[in-house]
Amino acid sequence: MSNSVAENIANFLKEYSPFSYLSHEELIQVATSIGVINLDKHKILFQINDKLHDSFYVVASGVINLSVIADAEETLLNKCYAGDVFGLRPFFAKNNYMMTAKAREDSIVYAIPIAVFKPFVAQNPQVLDFLLESFATNTRNPFDKENRGKLITDNVYTEGQQNEIQYFQSLAYNKTPLKVSVSAIAKDTAQLMTENLTDSVVVTEQNHPIGIVTDTDFRSKIANGRFPLISTIDKIMSSPVITVPENVSVAEAQLLMLKNNVSHLCVTVDGSDKSEVKGVISEHDLIVAQANNPGVLIKEIKRSLSPKELKLVREKLTDLIQSSIAKNIPLPHIYNISGEIITAIIKRSIELSILDLGSPPARFAWFSIGSQGRKEQFLLTDQDSFLVFEDVAEEKYRDVKDYFLKLAKRTTTILEKVGYDFCPNGHMASNMLWCKSMSDWIKQYNNWMKTPGEKSNDISSIFFDYELVFGEGKIEDTLDDLILKNTKNNALFFDYLGNDALRKNAPINFFRKFNLEEEGDHKGKFDIKNKAIMPLVDGARLFAISLNLKGINNTYLRFKQLAIADPKFSEIYLNCADAFLILSKFRTLEGLKNDSTGDYINVEELSKVDKEKMKNALGPMKELEELIKDKFQLTQFS
């Protein structure tokens, strides 16, 4: 690269963090190694599940859209403009991209080789702090108040990203806005707004928005005498209108209001001013949304000092879930929000236990498994967890394990008081079987995977749905690597896991009737958890492990990723993804209605339409079952 080109790039970069922390000589060194990428409109730079690149990126010109999979389609997460840094996943993670980067318009992007930039990160704490904080929390350039050089996280579903959750949090707004024509009289419009108790009216032509009038416009333009009351509305309206699409999130709406210094946004079908008006978002709507913001609940969790205080937050979460479902907010969004809040509750419970017991004698990691490990826990189901502590000298082992067993017992007791029952199968970190050293866990997983059905009759597939809640990330990496190693050429393990996925009783019989419970407390009811949802969970897990889909535990997202990774059978996977959401919603509604786990449904209470909807959702299970049999050629454990 010529010196003049490198000089121009260096001068560009120095205006933005974290490059502003580097000297001119260092910037020249970086600039000479940069690759310049020209992206045509709609061109993809990288997409979900792509292997990581050896560079990260800075937008030189144009706009890059970052999107993630949500609600059966790619949903916009953020827009990157000149100076914005993105694509940092290769710095901090080893699994594939969890996000798609696509040019919104013709754009130029600088590709900065990570190998070249890493020495400057190591030498400059400010650069490292910037990258770490932004990657972990999705803050918009934590050190630049002018909001230039935003650094956008690629770490989509991680703990602590409250701003990011707001990109998934749907927004309630006025879906029946007042509309007037451009020739309407100001006096008549004011009277109309008063009668309808609203603070805005949209000015339209052929139902397309051309302006908006608010209380502020009347105060600043009519009340002070600038325009008479008999003026036509076009004299006082604000134009052009700032428009957004119907599925706009809280964060996007808030940013647009701040950026454009407006108090109202107009919702249209496609987000432009050339399509039909569907609603109006006001500042008040944002205030209401912020009151239910998961970030507010998480702050309450961090301040909590007792199980009682944590229980109050958990009750608020139940209300949030119920209201979100009532508003028809997509289930994947609610899963994400609920999962983060429950994770925060567990983490705080561990912290309170440590405050009582004193500092841990060794490094450790606490993992959630089961529905919480998959971020699918809406209802007050039981606890599932395990604990791993680092290997210690033999003479210290007993004391170290005793400490962690006490820690686990205190933590699980706190969670029980919050409302999460003890696991009836004992799958909890407080059980000495599931609280042990790294070496012991390596032996455990080796037994499960190398000799399934022999030394390991107690194998439980939920131990392959783990989520790190608290502690050392390196311990999680070790487990990831161990499982990957043991899956290679291990037909016996997949034979066992495949047959285990097929052991559940059929949900409907030959006559297309629900197979109901024949005895016990739930006689005459349908076990939607074990007969409908768990076969999908088990199937998604089986294929995800076989295709090495790391870092994705949620059943819905697993099926979505499987459709990308294994396109030949994408239709089956996508049908299963939809079925999982439908069945999960039935279970959640049942649980909320009866304050229960929602596992058993009285189908006689369902409408005819709902019965058919549930039966149709069970259809893809048969296709999944046949695919499992075909893919894994099940034999030994059949």
Mean pLDDT of the region 341-354: 93
Predicted confidence band of residue 321 (pLDDT cuts 50, 70, 90): confident
Count the residues in the chain: 638
Task: List phi, psi (to 5°) of 366.
Answer: -105, 125
- Is the pLDDT at 428 greater than 70? The verdict is yes
Instruction: Please compute, for residue 536, the number of CA atoms within 13 A of its CA located in the half-sphere on the CB side.
Output: 34
* Kind of pairing between the strands at 73-80 and 64-70: antiparallel
pLDDT tens profile 180-211: 999 999 999 998 988 888 889 999 998 899 99
pLDDT of residue 161: 39
pLDDT for res 94:
65
**Confidence label for 414 from pLDDT (cuts 50, 70 and 90):** very high
Our measurement of the distance from residue 392's CA atom to the centroid of its chain's CA atoms, rounded to an integer in Å, reads: 36
Reading the block at residue 343, the tokens are 């994770």
243: phi then psi, degrees, rounded to nearest 5: -110, 150
Side chain identity, residue 353: S
Running DSSP on this structure, what letter comes out for residue 185?
Answer: B
Determine if the peptide bond prior to 240 is cis (ω within 30°). Answer: yes
The torsion angles phi and psi of 129, rounded to 5 degrees, stand at -60, -40
Mean pLDDT, residues 266-294 taken together: 81
User: Residue 268 — left, alpha, or beta (φ > 0 → left; ψ -120 to 50 → alpha)?
Assistant: beta
State residue 596's pLDDT score: 80
* The architecture CATH gives domain 179-291: Roll (3.10)
- Which ranges in 374-459 belong to alpha helices (H)? 394-418, 438-450
DSSP SS3 for 167: coil
pLDDT of residue 387: 97
With residue 114 as reference, give the H or E element that holds it: helix 114-123
Query: Cα–Cα distance between 96 and 467 in angstroms, integer?
Result: 17
Residue 296 has pLDDT above 70, yes or no: yes
CA 600 – CA 567 distance, rounded (Å): 35
What is residue 237's predicted lDDT score, i.e. its pLDDT?
A: 92
Of the listed ranges 105-109, 131-135, 372-376, the least confidently predicted one is: 131-135
Of 254 and 472, which is predicted with more confidence? 472
Whether 378 shows a pLDDT value over 90: the answer reads no
Copy the structure tokens of residue 65: 């859209």
Distance between CA atoms of residues 576 and 377, nearest Å = 19
> What does the pLDDT average to over 435-444?
95
262-282 burial, b for 16+ CB within 10 Å, e for fewer? bbbbbbbeebebeeebbbbbb
> Rounded to whole angstroms, how far apart are CA atoms 584 and 591?
10
| pLDDT over 70 at 88, yes or no | yes
Task: Please tell me which residue, 285 or 403, carries the higher pLDDT value.
Answer: 403
Mean pLDDT along residues 593-605:
84
CATH superfamily of 294-488: Beta Polymerase, domain 2 (3.30.460.10)
Q: What is the DSSP string of 211-273?
A: EEEEHHHIIIIITTSSS-TTSBGGGT-B-SPPEE-TT-BHHHHHHHHHHHT-SEEEEESSSST
Supply the pLDDT for residue 636.
Answer: 54
pLDDT single digits (tens) 46-80: 988 889 999 999 999 888 988 876 544 556 667 78
Question: Does 18 sit behind a cis peptide bond, omega within 30 degrees of 0 on the bond before it?
Answer: yes
Nearest to 77 by CA among 17, 161, 8, 152: 152
The per-residue pLDDT for 637 is: 55
294 close to 169: Cβ distance less than 8 angstroms: yes
- Confidence at residue 140, expressed as pLDDT on a 0 to 100 scale: 32
Please tell me which residue, 379 or 523, carries the higher pLDDT value.
523
Distance CA 623, CA 57 (A): 42
Least confident of 78-82, 271-275, 406-410, 544-548: 78-82
Q: Residue 208, exposed/middle/buried by CB under 10 A (0-12, 13-18, 19+)?
A: middle
Fold of 3-156: Jelly Rolls (2.60.120)
Give the residue extent of every domain in the chain. Answer: 3-156, 179-291, 294-488, 495-632
pTM of structure: 0.57
Assess whether pLDDT exceeds 80 at residue 329.
no
Asked if residues 59 and 109 have their Cβ atoms less than 8 Å apart, the reply is: yes
418 or 517: which leads in pLDDT: 418
> Amino acid letter at 521?
D
What band does 4 get if pLDDT is binned at 50, 70 and 90?
confident
Q: Is the pLDDT of residue 394 over 90?
A: yes
According to DSSP, the β-strands at 264-268 and 243-244 are parallel
What distance lies between CA 467 and its chain's CA centroid? 13
Q: Which of 614, 448, 610, 440 is nearest to 531 (CA)?
A: 614
How far out from the chain centre does Cα 500 lie? 29
Structure tokens at 379: 């209802």
How high is the mean pLDDT of the chain?
83
**What pLDDT is attached to residue 536?**
93
Residue 257, pLDDT > 90, answer no
